[in-house]
Amino acid sequence: MQPFVYNALPARVIFGTGTQAQVAQELQRLGCSRAIVLTTPGQVGKGKGVEKLLGDLCVGLYTRATMHTPVDITDDAVNAVQELNADCVMAVGGGSTIGLGKAIALRTDLPQIVIPTTYAGSEATPIIGQTENGIKTTQKTLKVLPEVIIYDVALTLTLPPKVSVTSAVNAIAHAVEALYSQDANPIADLLAQEGIRSIARSLPAIVTGEGGGEALLKARSDVLYGAWACAMCVGGLGMALHHKLCHTLGGTFNLPHAETHTVLLPHTIAYNAPYAPEAIAKVASSLGVINAAQGIYDLAKQLGAPYSLKELGLKEEDLGRAADIAAMSPYPNPAPLERDKLLKLLRDAWSGTRPP
């Protein structure tokens, strides 16, 4: 066994079906009594459901969480937190809402309870991305790691199949980057492979609905568990080229987060494969395929996910600028980040070409 360093993240995880009913108990366990509930405009209904469960323990509902965590929205949310004298932040939703909760915690150091409704995985990481003046930047600090995560499988049952696919592939991206991280270790490797396997074997059933209610509940449960495992492994490590490109395309060109991950992942795997053969072989094995890049591409495409940046609205003339930004302040990565090769990667992703 090679020497390694493993940092366990200090978070409480509650997983099951119907677990959101425990929100008041968990809030009081933290010694809090004045929670502000966060949602996006589209998740107001779920936020009001949590507000009802909290009763007098909730002091307000903030519904302006936005993709890529723009700083001006955080400014407004922090003002609301201060006006309400909230002592806890409760995020109900996907990556946009969870990102806002983290941004508030970064500024105020308030404890967080997160109730994820997608497979984004941000809830399990000490990483925050924020966008200001068209540039998305990230930082890693335990200040933004939520204290409590409540996974309620029931809240994912209404997630549309297409959104489920892109959100789940986003989760797989966390595991892939963990496997070839410069800080990779055997514990994270196990989590990464378990997460990829759990998602890949169960995701098709979410789209097809095969087997009916009980089978769908099991598939949703397995994908949510897999997403948590994937997030846990990257949360203790770092990010590489894939996340750098996604942050560039999201922060500067406002492309949708999960869909961008889904389109790019096959191409970033192919880019790194010659420089991280053992890691990529583990990805392929976990997917049950021979070629990892093609396996991810085929899985997502067959399940109805977008497979080109062109579909997502990126203009071809913006590819050069995206390559330039991605090459600046690069994250550590197995393969050297060469501007011409990055541009080719982006061109292939823009056109939706199946990777070699």
Summarised one tens digit per residue, pLDDT across range 283-297 is 999 999 999 999 999
pLDDT on residue 211: 62
Q: What is the pLDDT of residue 38?
A: 98
- Mean pLDDT, residues 169-194: 93
Q: Is the pLDDT confidence value at 1 over 80? A: no
- Tell me whether the CATH fold assigned to 12-156 matches the one assigned to 161-351: no
Residues 255, 224, 14: CA angle, nearest 5 degrees: 120
Instruction: Tell me which fold the domain 161-351 belongs to.
Output: Dehydroquinate synthase-like, alpha domain (1.20.1090)
With a CB cutoff of 8 Å and minimum separation 6, the contacts of 67 are 95, 96, 250, 254, 256, 257
Angle of helix 71-84 relative to helix 95-108, nearest 10 degrees, comes to 60
83, 85, 89, 90 alpha-carbon torsion, rounded to 10°:
-90
Pairwise CA distance, residues 88 & 320, whole Å? 43
Q: Is the pLDDT of residue 239 over 90?
A: no
Q: Where are the domains of the chain?
A: 12-156, 161-351
pLDDT in tens, 307-356: 999 999 999 999 999 999 888 877 789 999 999 999 999 999 999 999 99
Tens-place pLDDT, residues 114-168? 999 999 888 998 989 898 888 888 888 999 999 999 999 999 999 999 999 999 9
Q: pLDDT averaged over the chain?
A: 93
CA distance 298 to 284: 12
CATH class assigned to 12-156? alpha beta
Residues 153-179: pLDDT tens digits?
999 999 999 999 999 999 999 999 999
Would you tell me how many other CB atoms lie within 10 Å of the CB of residue 52? 9
Closest CA to 110 of 25, 34, 8: 34
Residue 329: which region, alpha, beta or left (left: phi > 0; alpha: psi -120 to 50)? left
Confidence of residue 74 (pLDDT cuts 50, 70, 90): very high
Mean pLDDT to the nearest integer, 57-73:
94
CA distance 177 to 26: 32
**Considering only CA atoms, which of 338, 25, 305, 33 is closest in space to residue 161?**
305
Q: What percent of the chain has pLDDT over 70?
A: 99
Considering only CA atoms, which of 347, 263, 246, 256 is closest in space to residue 307? Answer: 263
